[in-house]
Structure 1
């Protein structure tokens, strides 16, 4: 087994960092997995939120009761409440799948071996992957908020007021925060050398979040804080735990890639 060529310690590190970002950016732009995952999330949230509004307008008491919207009226507040509920879970799943692919694909396919001969360090490469994943999440967040806005306009709700605009911004922020929440997925995909371990951890994050929320202890748990903040429009203080936890797992992932060895 071999640890490969050590990265250069020269001032050219900035050049290698830009090269890594450019390479990972090209991979992301060419990836149908990332494109499809982002599109499914954006379209799915818009369609389901529109369905929520339609259920309220139709007077279907059975449906509105299941959605917790018994006394709701067909307005922006109702539609965005449904959109936020869907986004809270769906964005974690989408971000986890996307991150598992971004980090685990090369490990699963064995093409990671080619990285050992490059002057760009493997830690730099995976750090670039994590940055590209956040860029993907930001673009997806804009798509989600934009399609929900478009759906509301098409359904005749008119331009959103200040409260509705704030809710739309929280939905967009929730998608980006979900990308931070699933950082353990990158570490799992690295240790498990593939996509499935990362996807399994994504499901685990969702389960832990649900259990903590039901137990009423989730406010300061990083996996729960974003959804609790978005759904309840509560204080933003607990969100501080999210980037801290994300940095810890991102550092663990980078360290694991630096210590990565070829398996004979």
Structure 2
């Protein structure tokens, strides 16, 4: 007996009437009668006695019903487990470092949620390097990062390129320049993202290669702290261009020859589920456009 036959049999036994059971299941009486006949032939059991328009369940019929009800309970638990697994795959865990979050987070919280309200988003904002570690350890489903070290365990899908910029107050005399050299940018007092951020590591490495000594007053993991320090004209900063929002009272001056790439990162060998694919395609299409 298959699951459908079991469900038919349980309903007929419940009503002890084929016609009423057929009405409940929105099928014809003849189709259900044939199904009961097939079950008797397949099992080799005499399951019913006909009494007028009703039926009585035989002793063998009751024994079979006991087994059928047990199997249907197991099947319901199985269906519930499958639904729970599917629901978990509609709950995406995303690592989104603070700079790239300034452009991607509004897209996710507004437009993507409207398009796909069935998908739950759990978003953490670690440093870029930590975001890669989280994908590698499968603590999150995917990450969006600026640049990424080449790890054999990770798959990188490119989003876009952004200039690395000197961040200054909007009313500073440097505002409006098309670009600035790294040597000139690092001659000013600076506040940078934490040392574990990929951007900070890259800037310090560029300075080392060019034998530059940047005047770093402070490292902070919080963009809001950096923005406030720059607004108060205590120090400048070096940030990816998309980490300097419009209308913030800050200006971005591209540093010559310095760019960061944006990537969406997933674990190699791990299945990409439908919800993840929708999210990845949505963000990549946004940046492609």
Scaled to the shorter chain, the TM-score interval is: under 0.3
Relative contact order: is structure 1 or structure 2 higher (C-alpha 8 Å, sep ≥ 6)? Answer: 1
Task: Select the structure that is richer in helix.
Answer: 1
Max radius of gyration: which structure? 2
Richer in strand (by share): 2
Normalised by the length of structure 1, the TM-score is 0.20
